[in-house]
Structure formats: C-alpha cells, structure tokens
Chain A
Amino acid sequence: MDRQKTYDAGVSGDEGLRCARCGEPLVLSPVTFTYLGHAFPVELPACEACGLVFVPEELAKGRILHVERSLEDK
C-alpha cells in the first residue's frame, strides 16, 4: 500500500467573500506565489479594487506548506 497525501479541492465559491479593506466582492484572479526562486501561478480570490488576496487556510496549510518544505529540503 502506498501512503497517499490528499488535499481539499477548495471550499465553495458562493460564500460571497468580501474585501476586509474596501468591502468589494473578491473574484477569482491570477496570482503568482514565488518561493526560493520558484514561481507558481495560481488563481485565488482577490479584490479588484485594492489587490488584497485571500489565501484559504487549507491551501496554506496543505499544498503551499508541502511545496515550501519540498523546496527547503532540496
């Protein structure tokens, strides 16, 4: 048996997230994470007015953490 690592596919988008700074609705927008010389283009909810990006907790504690550790351990 292989050990499997699974992650959530993401919470539903119809929760009506709004920007804490300007109150505008967040819309799925292209965002690039960079870490230790690597770039990862993703799509995240962002405020079109001020550019604030929302990073869901399960993404931060799941895929992003795993990628960071992989790069650190390389």
Chain B
Amino acid sequence: MEKTAVAPSEQPRAANRVISGTRSVCPVCLEVIDARYVARGERIYMEKQCKKHGAFTALVWEGAEEFERLVRAGEGQPCPSGPQHCIGCRQHAQKTCCVLLEVSDRCNLSCPVCFAGSSEAVATPDPSLATIAGWYDMLMQNGGPFNIQLSGGEPTMRDDLPEVIRLGLERGFSFFQLNTNGLRLAQEPDYVQRLAQAGLNTVFLQFDGIRDTTYEAIRGRPLFDEKVRAIAHCRQAGLGVVLVPTVAKGVNDHELGDIVAFAKGQMPHVRGVHFQPMSFFGRYQEDLADSGRLTIPALLRALEQQSRGEIKKGDFSPANTEHPLCSFHADYLLEEGRFVLQPSCESACCCSVPSDQARRVVARKWSAPEVYAPTPPEEGSLYRADALDAFLQQRAEVERRQFALSGMAFQDAFNLDLNRLGRCYIAEVSPDGHLVPFCAYNLTGTDHAGFYRGVK
C-alpha cells in the first residue's frame, strides 16, 4: 500500500512527467533510497520507494516552470554519504555560515510542534560553560568565526546565557542571535538588558500569529500577550527582533498578512519576518501532517493575497548559496506607510560575500537600527566633517525604514533531497562537539527518532 505525506484531496491524478532524479531516505527506516521529482500538472511531488516499507509521495512545490528553473539553478550531485554520516564527512558541498548551539534541552513550553522534541519534562543537564567554550574553540578551528544562533530547547532557561555570549565574544565571534519563544523575555526585562549588554545582536522570536487560537494549536496555550511584552522589552534594551512564524496549513496560513502588518507597526526594532513552513520532524501532530504541506509558492501567494498586493510573490528571490528550493527573501523600504521593494542584494545572504563583511551585513540587517548622533563641531575644531555626518545620518534614517521578509523550508524525511542537504549552510553542534547540517541533525523517521539526538 502506498504511504503518503499529503492529504487525500492532494493525491496526484494527472499524468506523470519526471523532472529529475535525486537521492532521499525512506521515512520509516531512514535508509538512503533513490527518489525523483514528478510533475502532475502544476504540482511537483517527490516519489520514492523503499524495498522494505513501500512507496512514498510528498508534495514539494506548486508551479512546474519555476520548479524546473530552480532545480536547474541548484543542479549538483546528491550528498554521497547520506544524512547519518555527516560527522567527519569532508564531502559537504557548502561552507558553513550559521551555527546553532543547543545550550539547553530544557524548555518552558511543551509545544505540540517542536523540531528538537523539547519539553518542560526534559531533565538533561545543560552543557557546562566549559563544554560550550570547547564548542567555540572547535568552531574556530573549523573555519570560524560563524554567526552564532543560541538555540535549544529554550536557551533562556539558562541564567548564565549572557556568559555564554561573552565566552563567544572572547573567542572572536561577533554575531549572536537568540532563537526563543520569548516567555522569559516577557517576564524579566532585566534579563533582556543583561543579554543586550553581553553583546546579543538580535532575537529570533517564535511568533506564529496574532491570535491566541493559533498559539493554542501550535504551542499548546495562548501566548500573544507575552509575545508583545517580549518585543517591548527587547525594544527597551535596544535589541532588534525578527518574528519567526512556523506556518501550518489550515492553522495559521490565513494570518500571514496580519503578522506582517503587526511587524510593520513594531518597526524599527522589529526588523522583519522569517517564515518557516512547517516541516514534519521531531515532534509534530499527525493531524497537522495529514492536513498537507504548505509549499513556498503557496505561502508566498497567500502573503500576496492577504497583504492585498502590497507584497507580491514576484518580490522574492530564491537563495543563491544554499539550494534555491530551501529559502526566499525580499527587502523593503517603508515609504509613506507602504512597503516598497528594494533591489535584490545578494549580500542579503550571509555567504555570498567575504565573511567579515557578511557578518556585518547580517548584524546590521537584524540588529536594532542605530540613531546617528554626532557631537556638533566646536569653535576652533581641528576639522569639519559635515558631509560625513550628513551621509551617516541619512543612512541611519534609511536603516530605520528597512524591513526584510524571508523564509526557509526545512526538509524532513518525506521530502529530503540529498542534493539540497549537500548545500546546507546551517549547522548544529552535536553534544560531543561535531558540526552536522541542520536538516540532517533534525531528521526523524515516522517513529519520531533520528540519528543525532541520541535516540536512534
């Protein structure tokens, strides 16, 4: 019997047209198997067959012409070793850019949806500061410094998180992003101040919508008021915030326009929105998986519709460093209350320019904008630099009106493409101090167990 990752209403009916082949995994046993992309009308599916567990089909994209163009742009060899062999593998096609440090497995929520499978019940001790210092040293020996994402679990469960940042700064890392649900930031403004003072650049705030019903569905309880408080405390501490919605079809895909409108109202400290269409790994509800997959084109179409055309699907550029099927971005300038698209700048991607400049660009894009306040020259001053002041002042004002929309579609066992995986530039540090690409690290089979979190 054919197993499927799509809703019955989305079952392919039209004639097959094979677009290309790649390698993937069986969603049940995670063994590497052949896979192919098949177009049925405008819908593109990944099809594969495991000798032990049968055939699988997963919706990947909507829009055949665009898909073929992106697949050509991302042409390459599937990763030869497979997701279970990332540690020590020297064949990864992409240089690492961003690194997630899971500084705590603990969490103050037990979301029905969690790629890390974290919960309030987790009793695993946090890695010590000495262990984290060792991770930083390992990263510097392996091409660092990288942009650091403090993640988990919920990283703010640690009282010593400012010290974790300081350890990184001392070792030459300069960009720190906090991936958080924001609960502690909402409760403890002093803690937010301490993080800012330690050198935190930006907060990637889990923000699934503006309605409590959405949080109840995805996070298990109402949270909107706490999100608003967390944003206010970040603003007070001078921290930039990026709202990060996990978007599930039929749950909050009707709220995309509202999320962007809310973010616009919170500028300039809210710097943008980073959408993550839901993937099926770690902990997820089977009924969400059954309701079908939200593809990037469908998400962008919904965004266009719900923003009444202020944001257009055509505004977005695919990634040019990681695989073009993995992410999308557009940069805007707020002019008279409306977003005006800015020319696509490849430096929006932190990997396409030299690393120092890349980290600077990312830091400026996601950090709170500066207010440029030069001291006026005094009588008898040795120089006058009004033209430099005017330029910097204008630049700072523009920065306050800049806004970024982006997103990333993580892969799961149903749609994993080893060609995409080979191009992954986000890595996780495993507890024993190895770098593993994000979508391999978090990959889980239908039994919700994976290779790297000590379960399988």
Contacts and interface: CB of A to CB of B under 8 A. Distances in A.
* A and B part of one assembly: yes
Interface of A: 1-15, 17, 28, 33, 38, 40-45, 56, 59, 63-64, 66-67, 69-70, 72-74
Interface string B364-394: 1000111111111110111111111101100
Contacts of B380: 12-14
Contact of A63 (B360, B381, B382, B389): B389
A72 B370 CA distance: 18
Nearest to A40: B387
A45 B388 contact: no
B361 A10 contact: no
A9 B364 contact: no
A71 B386 CA distance: 17
Nearest to B378: A9
Contact residues of B: prevailing secondary structure: mixed
Contacts of B384: 10, 28, 42-43
Contacts of B324: none
Interface of B: 235-238, 345, 347, 357, 360-361, 364, 368-378, 380-389, 391-392, 395
Contacts of A66: 392
Nearest to A66: B392
B383 A56 contact: yes
Given A12-B382, A43-B384, A72-B357, A6 B373 contact: yes
A64 B388 contact: yes
A72 B369 CA distance: 18
Contact of B382 (A6, A40, A45): A45
Contacts of B391: 38, 40, 67, 70
Contact of B385 (A1, A4, A45, A59): A59
B433 to A, nearest CB: 33
Contacts of A45: 382-383
Going nearest first, the 4 A-B pairs with the smallest beta carbon separation are A10-B381, A43-B384, A40-B387, A2-B371
Contact residues of A: prevailing secondary structure: mixed
Contact of B371 (A3, A11, A73): A3
A5 B372 contact: yes
B357 A10 contact: no
A8 B385 CA distance: 11
B390 to A, nearest CB: 9
A11 B395 CA distance: 26
A10 B238 contact: no
B392 A56 contact: no
A66 B360 CA distance: 12
A13 B387 CA distance: 20
B142 to A, nearest CB: 26
A63 B357 contact: no
B368 A63 contact: no
A63 B371 contact: no
A7 B368 contact: no
B357 A7 contact: no
A9 B380 CA distance: 10
A48 B233 CA distance: 55
A28 B370 contact: no
B238 A1 contact: yes
Contact of B377 (A3, A9, A67, A70): A9
A13 B377 CA distance: 11
B368 A6 contact: no
A13 B357 contact: no
B362 to A, nearest CB: 10
Given A67-B392, A70-B395, A73-B357, A3 B370 contact: yes
Given A42-B387, A73-B361, A13 B373 contact: no
Contacts of A44: 382-383
Given A2-B238, A5-B372, A40-B387, 9 more contacts: A1-B235, A2-B370, A7-B374, A10-B382, A12-B381, A40-B385, A64-B388, A70-B392, A72-B357
B300 to A, nearest CB: 26
Given A72-B357, A73-B364, A9 B375 contact: yes
A3 B383 contact: no
29 contacts: A1-B235, A1-B238, A2-B238, A2-B371, A5-B373, A6-B373, A6-B374, A6-B375, A7-B374, A7-B375, A9-B375, A10-B377, A10-B383, A13-B380, A33-B388, A40-B385, A40-B387, A40-B391, A42-B384, A45-B382, A56-B382, A59-B385, A63-B374, A63-B389, A66-B392, A67-B388, A70-B392, A73-B357, A73-B360
B353 to A, nearest CB: 9
A62 to B, nearest CB: 9
Contacts of B388: 33, 40, 42, 63-64, 67
